[in-house]
Amino acid sequence: MENQFVQILDIPFLNKTKNDVVNDVFHQYLKEGKKAFIVTANPEIVMQAHKDRDFLYTLSKADFIVPDGIGVVFASKMKRKPLKERVPGFELMEEFLALSNLHHLKVYIVGAKNEILESAVKNIRAKYPDLNLAGYHHGYFADDDDTVIEEIQRVKPDLVLVALGCPRQENWIKRNMPKVEKGVFIGVGGSIDILAGHLKRAPVFWQKVHLEWFYRLLQQPSRWKRMLVIPKFLIRVLISRP
């Protein structure tokens, strides 16, 4: 039987296509009103977990960890256990929003600056008019502030998009998901900025040649130090090979 997971530096990546992930989450969780914790992990997240055991524990609580980052896919090939494909977090989020629109599901959004969040909400309402946007809140609140999770408890969304950045968003989900009855929680990082039109996603050609990361670097040159994690990650994977 084909392995369902590929282990990369102690992180078990789900070895499924994007379409399979979407179908599994919809039929097993969203449709059934069950809870799930989804992590879209790139090399930066893996390396963060490698140096922070508490964060590694947070990731161990996830129901799905998908390979968002071509570096993770390259790493799986280096280990001779290739993942089926990259599962971009932005595309996964779009698929869930489309399903929420089709099935009139409730969605709640946490994170980003208020003005960016307002723009994203406006664009979501225009693109997904049948989606039930149950609420949203900017990301500028203390981690021990229960205001947001109390509102989520009250409105009972089916899907919760959390854009607080890594590792804060994953830690927030791990800490607060047990407090609610239902909901698929997914960390979406900077995807709200793209939904708001504040950032542009790379054109299809850049995506196909696996240079989406470089396109984002051109938009945000200040990210260059963060990009240094990719070669460090690949070297660590190479060293760890049996």
Would you state the pLDDT for residue 159?
Answer: 98
Per-residue tokens: 169: 């968003």
Global pTM? 0.90
Would you state the pLDDT for residue 1?
Answer: 37
Distance separating alpha carbons of residues 233 and 4, to the nearest angstrom: 23
Distance separating alpha carbons of residues 211 and 141, to the nearest angstrom: 34
Q: Which of 98, 132, 85 is nearest to 23 (CA)?
A: 98
Neighbours of 124 (CB within 10 A): 22
Would you state the pLDDT for residue 168?
Answer: 97
Mean pLDDT by 10 residues, the chain (242 residues): 81 97 97 97 93 96 94 92 94 97 98 96 97 97 95 98 96 97 95 87 62 62 65 85 68
CA distances to 83, 88, 135, 176, 201 from 142, in Å: 37, 29, 19, 13, 30
Would you state the pLDDT for residue 45?
Answer: 94
The dihedrals phi and psi of 162, each to the nearest 5 degrees, come to -120, 110
- Residue 227 and residue 217 in contact, taking contact as beta carbons nearer than 8 Å: yes
Would you state the pLDDT for residue 124?
Answer: 97
Would you state the pLDDT for residue 132?
Answer: 97
Would you state the pLDDT for residue 210?
Answer: 64
